[in-house]
Amino acid sequence: MTLPNPRLVVKKDKATKEPPPDWCLPTFHQAIVELEEKWGKTPLRSKCAHEDDCPETPEDLRAAAEAELRKLGAVPPAYVLPLDVYTAGRNLRSEFSDGTPEEKAAIILAGINRAREEGATTLTEHLIHRTKKNYGRQIGTTRPASTAQDPTVADVLIAQMIFSGLETGEITDITHGATHYLDRVSQDFMRQKSIAANAENPEVELVPSGEDVYLSWTEGGDYLTWVGHIPNVRPTRLFLFRRMRELRPDTDDAADLKRKKVKLRAEIREAGLKAIRGTNRAPAPWDSCAEDADAAAALRAGVMVGGATLAFGAAIGLAVGVIASRTPTIRRPRRA
């Protein structure tokens, strides 16, 4: 058995003193920037914005959003909005609306990964309420992530781009298979609010801190483990985990292999703890890539938001079109 490479640290090349070349700008980076600039402040409003539970069905909301996208000219007249794409847009807006392009993509990718891992046939099936079958706030495993907020046009178009790119193989899973995520800053903020609200009632169980959640998740039998540094993804804001069951010391493992697995898991856990505290930092992800300026310019030239296509990056041979007539499948994204 080969133990996984956790990519705990990213060392600069000894000769050039620069980050390795795979720490360059992802192909979709500039496309997301362009979509946010054009459509990031245009909401697709419904009756369930910011409510715990949406009074309308996911299909009703999808159809209304589709009509609005066509009316705004953000998509071709014949475009059909897949339900999973709309769900992913709501999830992105509700969970992490102000992140970097890579963080936005990571939210969608992690949702797809977890839905597939937990046996859901679609992302929507995974994210809606188990019994009410509607969108709303996160409720444990009953609704594993929030879909309470209405998306913007950009949120939906970003989701469509990710789904389409996964279908064509032009977008890879930059999260290394992440299924869970944690925003330490938001978690710590909620803890401070709970402390202030219960200052006179010490018996109330307080909201755990981000570090508390990290320690709880990484010490359990699920083998949730840090995926390592990812370019332009801030561990203190979006910390990504996946279930690395290959680190489980099975009963039939030889003693030496058991020790190696336990040691490696402990090393990853300690490195992740430093990262979520902000003390284990990777080099600047793509500041020093020689090809960055040319790639960014090519992407910028190839971006089209509206009109006849949502294709992007055509100038460098990357064309991810809209899948207009069928629901995207939950398939295994390729590793970056």
pLDDT for res 229: 82
| Percent of the chain whose predicted confidence (pLDDT) is above 90 | 59
Task: Kindly tell me if the per-residue pLDDT of 316 is higher than 80.
Answer: no
Segment 33-37 mean pLDDT:
95
CA torsion angle 42 29 84 151 (round to 10): -20
Q: What is the pTM of this model?
A: 0.81
| Percent of the chain whose predicted confidence (pLDDT) is above 70 | 74
Neighbours of 70 (CB within 10 A): 16
Tokens (6 digits) for 30? 């500039």
pLDDT for res 204: 85
Confidence band of 9 (pLDDT split at 50, 70, 90): very low
Specify which residues 176 forms β-bridges with.
none
The 10s digit of each residue's pLDDT in 278-310 is 886 654 443 444 444 444 444 444 433 333 233
pLDDT for res 313: 37
Q: Which of 46, 209, 218, 68 is nearest to 135 (CA)?
A: 46
* Averaged confidence pLDDT in the chain: 80
Place of tokens 């998306």: 151
Highest mean pLDDT among 14-23, 197-206, 314-323: 197-206
pLDDT for res 40: 97
Segment 207-228 mean pLDDT:
93
252 Cβ neighbours under 8 A, 6+ residues apart: none
74 Cβ neighbours under 8 A, 6+ residues apart: 39, 42, 153, 157, 305, 306
Task: Tell me the residue length of the chain.
Answer: 336
Confidence band of 322 (pLDDT split at 50, 70, 90): very low
Task: Kindly tell me if the per-residue pLDDT of 162 is higher than 60.
Answer: yes
Cβ burial of 64 (10 Å; 0-12, 13-18, 19+) is middle
pLDDT for res 52: 65
Contacts of range 221-225, beta carbons closer than 8 Å, 24 or more positions apart: 223/247, 223/248, 223/265, 224/180, 225/6, 225/265, 225/268, 225/269, 225/272
216 Cβ neighbours under 8 A, 6+ residues apart: 208
What Cα–Cα distance (Å) separates residue 304 from each residue in 27, 109, 307, 312, 322? 15, 23, 8, 6, 12
DSSP symbols for 175-190: TSS--EEE-HHHHHHH
CA 42 to chain centroid, in Å, comes to: 21
Question: Cα 74–77–82 angle (5° rounding)?
Answer: 75
Confidence band of 144 (pLDDT split at 50, 70, 90): very high
Domain boundaries, the chain: 26-175+293-328, 179-226+232-281
Segment 10-16 mean pLDDT:
55
Task: Answer for the pair 52, 147: CB distance below 8 angstroms, yes or no.
Answer: no
